[in-house]
């Protein structure tokens, strides 16, 4: 049932007149200034660490934000979401995947779309705070990771649900889109950052990570075969896609979740919007507006995007948690 046939998101500002501008302009020019967080370093059992960035208002509810590929808690969309929910009476925790907090992690491995082991440790830490309600919010890879986590296991009743935007629910399908000529810009941008991390890791872990051939690395398929798969315990890129893709875990989700994927998202193919699963599920809601780009969804003349506002509405309507606005200067 829960396929939302009519989205409230109609169109972006006039100057964002195609999917690429909807995607790129917010990423390049939208900034959320100021220090919002208090950082906690969480030491892991394997000798590595995760950096968690908190906003604590002594509330009994918490939003847990997971960023996208090569993102982090300082990315504009994460900070904007953190500020939005802070001002509406929530504690917020935005965590950084290994290598994404501004300091390289210690081990040869880093992170990937299906890395729910680290997310599980993060949520265990959040639960230690004794919150009555926890809601997961994720963007792109962060949505994929969070949905896989929710489908893998049942958690304490404190996790009420989640809201996720621009999610590559089918990793192979998303990879195919990135190989298209008109979308190679995104792939090359991600690859450039990841290649630099591999260089650092090769220096720190010679004999485990090799930098040989990095300059000739052309696409994600090669990167996944050469680095993602062996560093994270997969046999190949195909094994990685098959194991990490979140769509196979969606039927196991037992709390309300919303997936919002724009039809014009340049990084997502049709298989990334799981209509069949949503039609059959009691808990998986799917909304596919015609516009929005990838982690775009810009609203004309508004400090916030459709993503924050849609998340709040879903949390209120489907999770039964009302907003608690304490700041009279909040811009709607």
Least confident of 9-18, 175-184, 211-220: 211-220
Distance CA 42, CA 246 (A): 26
| 277 pLDDT more than 50 | yes
Looking at residue 15, what is its pLDDT? 92
The mean pLDDT of 14-43, rounded to a whole number, is: 89
Looking at residue 327, what is its pLDDT? 44
CA distances from 140 to 78, 147, 174, 275 (A): 12, 11, 11, 18
Looking at residue 35, what is its pLDDT? 87
Mean of per-residue pLDDT scores for the chain: 92
pLDDT digits (tens, 9 = 90+) for 191-245: 999 999 999 999 999 989 988 888 888 888 899 999 999 999 999 999 999 999 9
Q: Which of helix, strand or coil describes residue 130?
A: coil
| 331 pLDDT more than 70 | no
| 329 pLDDT more than 50 | no
Q: How many residues does the chain have?
A: 332
224 closest CA partner among 210, 241, 209 = 241
| CA triple 2-76-172, angle to 5 deg | 50
Distance CA 280, CA 283 (A): 9
pLDDT digits (tens, 9 = 90+) for 96-110: 999 999 999 999 999
98 closest CA partner among 64, 48, 144 = 48
What is the largest distance, in Å, between two alpha-carbon atoms of the chain? Answer: 57
The mean pLDDT of 263-269, rounded to a whole number, is: 97
Looking at residue 209, what is its pLDDT? 92
Domains of the chain and CATH, by start: 3-170+247-317 (3.40.50.1820)
Looking at residue 286, what is its pLDDT? 98
| 297 pLDDT more than 90 | yes
The mean pLDDT of 108-116, rounded to a whole number, is: 95
The secondary structure element, H or E, covering residue 192 is: helix 184-204
| 312 pLDDT more than 80 | yes
Which of the 8 DSSP states describes residue 290?
S
Model pTM above 0.75: yes
| 154 pLDDT more than 90 | no
The mean pLDDT of 308-320, rounded to a whole number, is: 95
Residue recorded with tokens 């309600």: 133
Residue 156 binned pLDDT confidence (cut-offs 50, 70, 90): low
Pull the structure tokens for residue 175: 């990879």
Which of the 8 DSSP states describes residue 146?
H
Residue 330 binned pLDDT confidence (cut-offs 50, 70, 90): very low
| 315 pLDDT more than 60 | yes
- Tell me what percent of the residues of the chain surpass a pLDDT of 70: 95
Looking at residue 34, what is its pLDDT? 77
Residue 332 binned pLDDT confidence (cut-offs 50, 70, 90): very low
74 closest CA partner among 59, 95, 55 = 95
The mean pLDDT of 3-26, rounded to a whole number, is: 92
Looking at residue 218, what is its pLDDT? 83
């Amino acid at each position: 049932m829960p396929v939302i046939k009519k989205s409230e998101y109609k169109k972006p500002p006039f100057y964002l007149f195609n999917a690429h501008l909807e995607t790129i302009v917010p990423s390049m020019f939208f900034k959320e200034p100021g220090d919002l967080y208090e950082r906690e370093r969480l030491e892991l059992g394997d000798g590595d660490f995760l950096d968690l960035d908190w906003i604590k208002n002594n509330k009994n509810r918490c939003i847990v934000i997971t960023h996208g590929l090569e993102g982090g808690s300082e990315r504009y969309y994460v900070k904007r979401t953190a500020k939005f929910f802070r001002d509406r009476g929530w504690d917020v925790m935005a965590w950084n995947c290994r290598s994404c907090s501004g300091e390289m992690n210690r081990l040869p491995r880093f992170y990937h779309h299906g890395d729910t082991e680290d997310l599980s440790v993060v949520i265990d830490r959040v639960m230690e705070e004794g919150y009555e309600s926890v809601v997961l919010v994720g963007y792109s890879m962060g949505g994929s990771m969070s949905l896989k986590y929710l489908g893998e296991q049942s958690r304490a009743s404190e996790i009420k649900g989640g809201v996720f935007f621009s999610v590559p629910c089918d990793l192979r399908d998303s990879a195919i889109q990135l190989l298209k000529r008109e979308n190679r810009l995104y792939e090359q941008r991600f690859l450039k950052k990841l290649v630099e991390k591999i260089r650092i890791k090769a220096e720190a872990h010679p004999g485990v990570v090799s930098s040989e051939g990095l300059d000739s690395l052309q696409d994600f398929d090669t990167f996944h075969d050469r680095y993602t798969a062996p560093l994270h315990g997969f046999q190949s890129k195909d094994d990685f896609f098959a194991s990490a893709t979140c769509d196979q875990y969606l039927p196991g989700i037992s709390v309300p979740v919303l997936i919002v994927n724009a039809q014009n998202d340049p990084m997502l193919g049709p298989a990334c919007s799981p209509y069949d699963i949503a039609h059959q599920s009691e808990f998986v809601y799917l909304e596919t507006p015609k516009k929005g780009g990838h982690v775009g969804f810009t609203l004309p003349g508004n400090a916030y995007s459709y993503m924050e506002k849609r998340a709040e509405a879903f949390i209120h309507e489907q999770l039964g948690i009302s907003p608690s606005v304490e700041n009279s200067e909040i811009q709607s």
